[in-house]
Amino acid sequence: MTSLSFEEQADALLACGAATDAARLREALRSAGVREWPDRSVVSPSREIMPVARAAVSVKRAGRPVVLGHLEPGELERFEPIEGLVIPDAPAYVATDVDLGAASRNVTPEAALRDLRAAGRSPLTLDEGIALMLVQPEAIARNWGFSMAGSRCGDQRVPAFWVSEGRPKLGWCWDRNPHTWLGTASCAARRTRPG
């Protein structure tokens, strides 16, 4: 991924049409405003402002809409932050120093999660991954995607984004299955007003 400015991300989130109320999203983004924008950061609106299913189906890459793989839109609501993850109680916040997990390719999400925590990093959540894909869909490519081990729905499924037949795909993989084309995404911190 590349570093996009706060303004570029805000414009993309407002333009995608995923918010239930554009005025509320605009205010949430304003409240997450920054003095100094950290590199490789992602703005993540709350589900109240941008419902996860509505946001997910708004993802497009190269003009092609997302495919949900073995997932129904309503099922996405069940994926919640895993135990121990502290998500800011704010209309929007910023995940800083996002890494899509190139070093964890061919490593199971279960093992990658253990390694991330040992390194003092935090796994990206489904909502954060969707926010990233809304503003930077080229972050995935053929034979390169990322999983979001920070969200689970009570079983061993880990949500993930990858490219399938030229389209962005949001699906899942088992937490104990490695994939050569899938890394486990993470961030350094989550802040309501970074900088």
Residue-level pLDDT at 194? 46
User: Where is average pLDDT lowest: 30-44, 91-105, 114-128?
Assistant: 30-44
How far is Cα 177 from Cα 110, in angstroms, rounded to an integer?
9
Residue ranges per structural domain of the chain: 6-191
Evaluate if residue 22 carries a pLDDT over 90.
no
Structure tokens at 108: 């199971």
| pLDDT: which is higher, 7 or 146 | 146
Dihedral sign of CA atoms 145, 159, 136, 60 in order: positive
Residue-level pLDDT at 5? 83
Other CB atoms within 10 A of residue 17 CB: 11
What is the rounded average pLDDT for all residues in the chain?
A: 92
Nearest by Cα to 4 from 109, 145, 131: 131
- The position carrying tokens 């703005």 is 43
The alpha carbons of the chain give a radius of gyration, in whole angstroms, of 15
Structure tokens at 39: 């590199």
Q: Model confidence over 48-89: pLDDT tens digits?
A: 999 999 999 999 999 999 999 888 888 999 999 999 999 999
**Could you give the percent of the chain with pLDDT greater than 70?**
96
| Mean pLDDT, rounded, for 143-170 | 96
Q: Model confidence over 161-188: pLDDT tens digits?
A: 999 999 999 999 999 999 999 999 999 9
- Return the SS3 of 95: strand
Residue-level pLDDT at 195? 47
